[in-house]
Amino acid sequence: MDPATSQQLALDQQAADDKAAADSSASKPSVAPSVPSALPDWVRLQKALGVESERGFNNIEGHQQRFSEFISSSLLSGLKALSANLQNQMKDGNKWKTLAERFDHYSELSFSQRQHLVADTRRFLHQARQAADSLPLLAERGGAYRGGSAKKNSSSSAAGSTERKAFGGKPPQPTDGADKSSAAKRKKKAPKTTDVTGLLNRSDSNHPLDRPLTYLKGVGAYKAEKLAKLGLLSVRDALFYYPRDYIDYARQVKIKDLVPGETVTIVATVKRCNCFSSPRNPKLTMFDLTVYDSSSRLKVNRFFAGAHFRSRGWQERQKRLYPPGSIVAISGLVKQTKYGINIDNPEIEVLGGEGDSIDSLTVGRVVPVYPLTEGVGADLVRKTVVASLPSAVALQDPLPRGLREKYGLVDLVVAIAHIHFPPSAEDLATARRRLVFDEFFYLQLGLLRRRKEQQQQQTTVQMAPTGELIDAFYKVLPFKFTGAQQRVVQEILNDLQATAPMNRLVQGDVGSGKTVVAVVGILAAIQAGYQAALMAPTEVLAEQHYRKLVEWFNLLHLPVELLTGSTKTAKRKQIHKELMTGELPVLVGTHALIEDPVKFSNLGLVAIDEQHRFGVAQRAKLQQKGDNPHVLTLTATPIPRTLALTIHGDLDVSQIDELPPGRKAIKTTVLGGRERADAYDLIRREIAQGRQVYIVLPLVEESEKLDLRSAIEEHVRLQETIFPELHVGLLHGRMSSADKATAITAFREQETQILVSTTVVEVGVDVPNATVMLIEHAERFGLSQLHQLRGRVGRGGDQSFCLLMTSSKSEVAMQRLRVMEQSQDGFFISEMDMRFRGPGQVLGTRQSGLPDFALASLVEDQEVLELARTAATKVLEAETPSGEDGLTLWPLMEKELERRYQKLMGGAILT
Ligand code: ADP
Ligand code: MG
């Protein structure tokens, strides 16, 4: 999935929210937790700045704004948000303006100027936020997740007894950084158990964790600026910046003892370092390092692809990093090459200059490897983390002892110490388990609490479960519902009668018939006198739904309209008007539906197709077009149920786990380049029988890096040299909407027999006469995506074929593709996909609302996940004297949730 899209969404969302905030949203209780409008939106600002630096300072573009415009206007509105009084107290009004002005000229800045500006802004915002939080008036409204400071006070006295009931622990303690005396008490509680306690006790334990990094010894303004690029601003950030890996420097070998196939570390002295552009391939930059130890000498190399690395300056900097005589640790996999023994893709790190004693933090033990970014060295991050470790004692474990004991979790301080510097593999595993638990636990707390809040909401929309419209629809439908469809329809109709708004996700494989199920919901809304909206992520898909609905709704004498980005102004106006008067009962569209001027007179149901392609915030936006309307979301990326409950813990989940009868399995074959002719023969045979064919390519234009056939060139080639006797159509994402529509219509009307396409056809395109799906460079697609693509055929009664072309020689790639030959089951395929690529890749971290876990793996850590879910449920269900949810009993946990929530939700929940 394209990460740029999610950023666009974030930016656009901000623009839309700014407007919404202007017409004041206080009147309506919103489902999503809200940031008080009197404060700048720290989280989103930081998020945007973070994304910009991750993306390489390219001034990323949203639909409505560029990054720089967004930041500039947000800074100005942020300044405005702080009342005049507070601005005076904060004494930094000018800085807001200066920064905003500098962002106005962002596009003229050089790469490094941009880097500096972004880092500077991040730091400034961090400090400004701290200042704002410490002001009483603001602090009261402070939390990003849920304000509730008054609540905490009232509940804390009663908390002790109930906590003992639930977990047999001690009464809760005051929150972090409360006052000096409690900090002093905490100091005594530092664990004595570990060999890292030396580090922990090295300096005084009294610093609050929210101090800026410059507070640490050895970190000045310059280094802090670099660290800000990694999102590290406070001491707490450093403590919670987990290693992505560890190098076992204890397993050192001498150069002469290198054995191919082993992963090892050598410590050696630099003899020579070279960095130069490849004479043969101008895109390639080579880096050679010659080192020696007492046993032998070795040359290791690295390659850098891309124009950026060709700059002399960059190359010189590389050389300066490894001056002759410096001691380096090199680790990696030992390989036998035709030039002799080598270390593949080595990690190289300077340990110290010649004659320096080698730092005991790095050599002779397991050393953490942190995620880095350009210009921020391993050494800097490691030293910063080490410097922050003594502050870990100021961490109060929000999890009560009883809960920790019950679930076998180590203390937070120990876990943090050990995740950075594990004394043993076992310690690392326990530390990791604890921190993984935390990641899941707070996510579950957040989701479950949100779900509770939703359930407590009232909707004015209530619908009768049957009625003539639904009956009439069943009559005009040319088929009978499957058992699974009937069951899900029933679940939906039950929800629609409740006083709490429905929040249901329907999962179902491609072609399982989710759309018709949604239509029943839509009809229930209409016959109860409400309007309904159906939102799809692309114009192609929205169009498709629209055509289906028109077909059915004509028979029911119901008007339906389509609203997308390319709807003409006159039509648009007419639609707006008819929505407001209520004349128009159903509107289908893309995200154009959530654009501001669209107002419904009486929106009762919102259906969202391919929900993972929309941000949570966008969904919430559509919901706000009515008075807590019912929400039905559909997804064709089915995931195992436990996982679904985890990720969508705030939704009810229905599954359509049965395909309509008569569907034949699609014959799927993986083909190498030599079998291309066979593929074309099959295509000719099918077309001779009146069938049609999709040919899908991964990219629109010839990529420099990858030798991929572009759709445009492939179209020309196929039309002119392979199938001159046929009509070959072309569809890709860069075409105008009108051209896209023309291409699809021509294919649907069988004017073209072959449609060459990019993945635009992936979702929803429905041409039952198509029986062959040929996918080029299949190895470049995820399995779930291949499954989606394959779902474009096999929609009629005929035998269909899916041909996966690949020239890949990779064993793993082939294994992956074979899954497609073996299975047609979307659940199984998505599970395999997750095993191969990780859930984040499969579901698209941001779009799906799937959290950015730092440590946890949704595939590997299922057991901990279940525990965390149980624990979170228990906590929320604990009885409180006030009748509020149980979390209010544990202020530390509640505070921690607040702190983590936005991050856990991948920044998706920003309203
Ligand atoms: P999905 O959105 O789940 O991929 P669709 O709703 O687009 O699936 O349905 C795929 C095709 O199957 C459509 O042409 C639809 O009309 C048809 N269909 C849906 N339900 C049934 C059924 N019970 N029996 C036969 N055909 C069905
Ligand atoms: Mg569909």
* CA 787 to ligand 2 centroid distance, Å: 13
Lowest mean pLDDT among 67-71, 369-373, 679-683, 777-781: 369-373
Longest dimension (CA), the chain: 89
Q: From the alpha carbon of 482, which atom of ligand 1 is closest?
A: 23
* CA 525 to ligand 2 centroid distance, Å: 20
Task: List CB contacts of 404: < 8 A, sequence separation 6 or more.
Answer: 397, 410, 411
Residue 289, phi then psi, degrees to nearest 5: -130, 120
Q: Which residues pair with 630 in a beta bridge?
A: 605
Mean pLDDT value of segment 213-240? 87
Q: How confident is the model at residue 360 (pLDDT cuts 50, 70, 90)?
A: very low
Of all protein residues, whose CA lies closest to atom 17 belonging to ligand 1?
A: 513
* CA 905 to ligand 2 centroid distance, Å: 26
For the cut 60, the answer to whether the pLDDT of residue 849 exceeds it is no
Lowest mean pLDDT among 504-513, 536-545, 834-843: 834-843
Which tens digit of pLDDT belongs to each residue from 710-735?
788 889 999 999 999 999 999 887 78
Q: Distance between CA atoms of 633 and 616, rounded to whole angstroms?
A: 11
For the cut 80, the answer to whether the pLDDT of residue 793 exceeds it is yes
* CA 785 to ligand 2 centroid distance, Å: 14
For the cut 70, the answer to whether the pLDDT of residue 199 exceeds it is no
* CA 6 to ligand 1 centroid distance, Å: 29
* CA 791 to ligand 2 centroid distance, Å: 10
Q: Distance between CA atoms of 113 and 102, rounded to whole angstroms?
A: 10
Structure tokens at 501: 């708004």
Task: List CB contacts of 10: < 8 A, sequence separation 6 or more.
Answer: 44, 47, 48, 51, 62, 615, 846, 907, 910
Of all protein residues, whose CA lies closest to atom 23 belonging to ligand 1?
A: 481
For the Cβ of 382 lying below 6 angstroms from any atom of ligand 1, the answer is: no
Q: Which ligand is nearest to the CA of 655?
A: 1
Q: Which ligand is nearest to the CA of 792?
A: 1
Q: Distance between CA atoms of 744 and 410, rounded to whole angstroms?
A: 58
Looking at per-residue confidence, does 97 or 164 come out higher?
97
| Residue 706 confidence (pLDDT) | 45
Task: List CB contacts of 154: < 8 A, sequence separation 6 or more.
Answer: 882
For the Cβ of 774 lying below 6 angstroms from any atom of ligand 1, the answer is: no
> What is the separation of C-alpha 14 from the centre of its chain, rounded to a whole number of angstroms?
17
For the Cβ of 796 lying below 6 angstroms from any atom of ligand 1, the answer is: no
Q: Which ligand is nearest to the CA of 609?
A: 2
Mean pLDDT value of segment 351-358? 52
Lowest mean pLDDT among 483-487, 526-530, 558-562: 526-530
For the Cβ of 826 lying below 6 angstroms from any atom of ligand 1, the answer is: no
Q: How confident is the model at residue 683 (pLDDT cuts 50, 70, 90)?
A: very high
**Alpha-carbon distance values, 25 to 12, 22, 35, 40, 911 (Å):** 18, 8, 11, 16, 11
Looking at per-residue confidence, does 582 or 811 come out higher?
582
Helix or strand or coil: residue 229?
coil
* CA 728 to ligand 1 centroid distance, Å: 27
* CA 625 to ligand 1 centroid distance, Å: 29
Which residue's entry shows tokens 């009560």?
400
Residue 895, phi then psi, degrees to nearest 5: -65, -40
Q: Distance between CA atoms of 232 and 214, rounded to whole angstroms?
A: 11
* CA 515 to ligand 1 centroid distance, Å: 7
| Residue 83 confidence (pLDDT) | 59
For the Cβ of 474 lying below 6 angstroms from any atom of ligand 1, the answer is: no
Q: How confident is the model at residue 90 (pLDDT cuts 50, 70, 90)?
A: low
For the cut 80, the answer to whether the pLDDT of residue 184 exceeds it is no
The residue to mutate among 481, 505, 509, 515, having the most atoms of ligand 1 within 8 angstroms of its beta carbon, is: 515
For the cut 60, the answer to whether the pLDDT of residue 16 exceeds it is no
For the Cβ of 389 lying below 6 angstroms from any atom of ligand 1, the answer is: no
| Residue 481 confidence (pLDDT) | 95
Of all protein residues, whose CA lies closest to atom 10 belonging to ligand 1?
A: 511
| Residue 659 confidence (pLDDT) | 85
For the cut 60, the answer to whether the pLDDT of residue 901 exceeds it is yes
**Alpha-carbon distance values, 699 to 442, 705, 709 (Å):** 39, 12, 8
Of all protein residues, whose CA lies closest to atom 20 belonging to ligand 1?
A: 513
| Residue 680 confidence (pLDDT) | 96
Residue 237, phi then psi, degrees to nearest 5: -55, -45
For the Cβ of 510 lying below 6 angstroms from any atom of ligand 1, the answer is: yes
Which tens digit of pLDDT belongs to each residue from 132-179?
666 543 333 333 333 333 333 333 333 334 433 444 444 344 344 333
For the cut 70, the answer to whether the pLDDT of residue 474 exceeds it is yes
Looking at per-residue confidence, does 838 or 195 come out higher?
838
Looking at per-residue confidence, does 84 or 810 come out higher?
810
Q: Distance between CA atoms of 853 and 84, rounded to whole angstroms?
A: 39
For the Cβ of 304 lying below 6 angstroms from any atom of ligand 1, the answer is: no
Which tens digit of pLDDT belongs to each residue from 290-341?
999 999 999 998 888 777 788 888 888 888 888 898 888 887 778 888 888 8
Lowest mean pLDDT among 119-123, 516-520, 789-793, 847-851: 847-851
For the cut 50, the answer to whether the pLDDT of residue 196 exceeds it is no
| Residue 54 confidence (pLDDT) | 62
Structure tokens at 640: 């195992």
Q: Distance between CA atoms of 64 and 591, rounded to whole angstroms?
A: 13
For the cut 90, the answer to whether the pLDDT of residue 533 exceeds it is yes
**The sheet that has 652-656: what strands, in order across it?**
560-563, 586-589, 531-535, 603-608, 630-635, 503-508, 652-656
Helix or strand or coil: residue 664?
coil
Q: From the alpha carbon of 509, which atom of ligand 1 is closest?
A: 3
> What is the separation of C-alpha 174 from the centre of its chain, rounded to a whole number of angstroms?
34
Q: Distance between CA atoms of 679 and 281, rounded to whole angstroms?
A: 35
For the cut 80, the answer to whether the pLDDT of residue 364 exceeds it is no
Output the average pLDDT for the chain.
77
Q: CB–CB of 759/789 below 8 Å?
A: yes
* CA 30 to ligand 2 centroid distance, Å: 28
For the Cβ of 794 lying below 6 angstroms from any atom of ligand 1, the answer is: no
* CA 715 to ligand 2 centroid distance, Å: 27
Which tens digit of pLDDT belongs to each residue from 401-460?
999 999 999 999 999 999 998 888 889 999 999 999 998 899 888 888 887 877 777 766
% residues pLDDT > 90 (the chain) = 27
Q: Write down the pTM of the prediction.
A: 0.59
Mean pLDDT value of segment 382-404? 91
| Residue 37 confidence (pLDDT) | 41
Of all protein residues, whose CA lies closest to atom 13 belonging to ligand 1?
A: 513
Which tens digit of pLDDT belongs to each residue from 475-508?
989 899 999 999 999 999 999 888 888 989 898 8
Lowest mean pLDDT among 39-43, 500-504, 882-886: 39-43
Of all protein residues, whose CA lies closest to atom 18 belonging to ligand 1?
A: 513
* CA 125 to ligand 2 centroid distance, Å: 43
Name the residue among 776, 829, 819, 770 with its Cα closest to residue 795: 770
Lowest mean pLDDT among 59-73, 185-199, 453-467, 764-778: 185-199
For the cut 80, the answer to whether the pLDDT of residue 269 exceeds it is yes
Q: CB–CB of 601/580 below 8 Å?
A: yes
Helix or strand or coil: residue 879?
coil
Helix or strand or coil: residue 249?
coil
Environment class of 630 (CB within 10 Å of its CB; exposed 0-12, middle 13-18, buried 19+): buried
Q: Which ligand is nearest to the CA of 515?
A: 1
Mean pLDDT value of segment 225-236? 85
| Residue 204 confidence (pLDDT) | 33
Q: How confident is the model at residue 803 (pLDDT cuts 50, 70, 90)?
A: very high
Mean pLDDT value of segment 71-86? 74
The residue to mutate among 517, 547, 766, having the most atoms of ligand 1 within 8 angstroms of its beta carbon, is: 766
Q: Which residues pair with 266 in a beta bridge?
A: 330
For the Cβ of 511 lying below 6 angstroms from any atom of ligand 1, the answer is: yes
For the Cβ of 507 lying below 6 angstroms from any atom of ligand 1, the answer is: no
